[in-house]
Amino acid sequence: MRILLVDDNKTNLSLLTRLVEKLPDCVAIPYLHPEDVLADAPALEFDIAVIDFQMPVYSGIELLTELVRFENYRDKPVVFVTADTDTATRMAALNAGAIDFLTKPVNPLE
């Protein structure tokens, strides 16, 4: 399984990458900048995306909105990562198409 990881924080991205690489048959596709994801989008292949909710340039919701413009990404599951526990934030993520969220700091058991 190819897992797209997008987080503007190097430490968080490194942690997520290490967690994914410990899973059998999983490959991490890490990106520090959401605009790089969009630049590579025409050729990018992934099975699920884990995206930071709050990033500069593109928020997680804005990145997801741009990604689903590509037909091959419309049905890909997306999980948002956020430190925000506010219900409105979580509802916005679900309304944008996320299937779930992880709370920062990410707990490896989640």
pLDDT of 31-78, one tens digit each?
999 999 999 999 999 999 999 999 999 999 999 999 999 999 999 999
The whole-angstrom separation of Cα 2 and Cα 5 is 10
pLDDT for the residue numbered 90: 84
Average pLDDT on 66-94 reads: 90
Domains of the chain by residue range:
2-103
Percent of the chain topping pLDDT 70: 96
Instruction: Please choose, from the candidates 24, 29, 32, 26, the residue with its C-alpha nearest in 3D space to the C-alpha of residue 7.
Output: 32
Residues in Cβ contact with 42 at an 8 Å cutoff, skipping those fewer than 6 apart: 70
In this structure, which CATH number among 1.10.1660.10, 3.40.50.1970, 3.40.50.2300, 3.40.50.300 belongs to the domain 2-103? 3.40.50.2300
The whole-angstrom separation of Cα 110 and Cα 101 is 10
The sign one gets for the Cα dihedral 87, 71, 15, 32 is negative
Q: Tell me the pTM.
A: 0.92
Percent of the chain topping pLDDT 90: 75
- Using the predicted structure, report yes or no on whether residue 109 has a pLDDT greater than 70: no
Residue 105 preceded by cis peptide, ω within 30: yes
Report residue 51 as tokens: 């995206």
State the burial class of residue 6 (Cβ atoms within 10 Å of its Cβ: 0-12, 13-18, 19+).
buried
pLDDT for the residue numbered 102: 85
pLDDT for the residue numbered 107: 61
